[in-house]
Amino acid sequence: MDKFKNTNIISAIGNTPIIKLNSVTKDIESEIYVKLEYMNPGGSVKDRMGVYMCQKAVENGDLKPGGTIVECTSGNTGVGVALFANTYGYKCVFVMADKQSQEKIDNLRAYGAKVIVCPTDVEPDDPRSYYSVAAALAELPNSFVLNQYANKANTLCHYEQTGPEIYEQTNAEFDTFMASVGTGGTISGVGKFLKEKKPSMKVVGVDCKGSILAHYKKTGEMGEAHSYVLEGIGEDFLPENVNFDVIDDFVVVEDEESFQMTRRLLREEGIYAGGSCGSAVVGAIKYAKSLNKPEKILTIMVDSGNRYASKIYNDEWMQSHDYKVENSKDALDEKILNIIGDNGRLV
């Protein structure tokens, strides 16, 4: 049992599989592969950099023993940070925007974290924004604000860990790396590493309508942000971890097409993923359709669908936003009801 002597939950992060999409891509010639990052122990790619940022903060002396870690998060980074905190004896305070799913809030509270919810539709520098509130919490005694948007350990984690892992799995035998872009750490770190190994590699970001990132890449101007429903993708400011020199281009997607694809991924591919994963696949398909010849494209399945069961996977929620929902009732329903009668309830 000596080989288990120094292991803990942190050692389970990484080495996630890559699979090929087969059904949702049947109308294109290009091949799309996805790396299932939701198979990390905390359920998302953010386990990697959440832990890595904390490790660097300890090494640099910014995070003291028994201290409090403060972070603004859409939910996934918070879980990664909480994995580290619970393993090594730290406390956590997370600040979230009010559009995040209840499951994400409940997850963080289950880890023992304090969670603060702030309004979404305010400017980033508004004192009520979740960025500003997190910064203000730096006043807490023995605390450290990680700030994933500007913390270079975010990008460095993916440059040192995720990028090499992808290269080892694939030998870079694909043409384009794509990822939905929020803080920018994943696409910037992985993209930089892959381009160093294979200069012909293209790196394409997926942004959502309402965000300013794609517009900035195209025009060099900030543009005007407006609200959108997707979580964990897009921004209304320019995060320091978005390296626009690494990103060759952007594809823009919308809320509804992303959510419809998210549901299709589960129904047709067995992939239970979050909304930004649907965005990534929609973006990859749009990009593939713009090409003159077929390519192999790799993208990231960022997080698990279990954080969106009350939203994206809930027909009533979809209908409340005027999103199309296919009728799930079929002949099997009638047969079941005929058998069970009043002895049970089909839900």
* Residues with a known catalytic role: 46
Q: Which of 99, 87, 116, 106 is nearest to 8 (CA)?
A: 87
* Widest Cα–Cα separation across the chain: 67
Kind and range of the H or E element at 261?
helix 255-264
Angle, helices 275-289 vs 255-264, to 10°: value is 100
Cβ neighbour number for residue 143 with a 10 Å cutoff: 18
Give the residue carrying structure tokens 């539709």: 121
3-state SS string for 199-241: CCCEEEEEEEECECHHHHHHHCCCCCCCCCCCCCCCCCCCCCC
Length in residues, the chain: 347
Sequence-ordered list of residues with C-beta below 8 angstroms from that of 305, at least 6 positions apart, any chain:
38, 262, 266, 272, 273, 274, 312, 313
Sheet holding 114-118, edge to edge: 114-118, 91-97, 68-72, 143-145
CA-to-CA separations, 140 to 96, 132, 136, 289, 331, in angstroms, rounded: 18, 14, 9, 51, 59
The Cα 332–Cα 314 span in angstroms is 20
CB 242 within 8 A of CB 181: yes
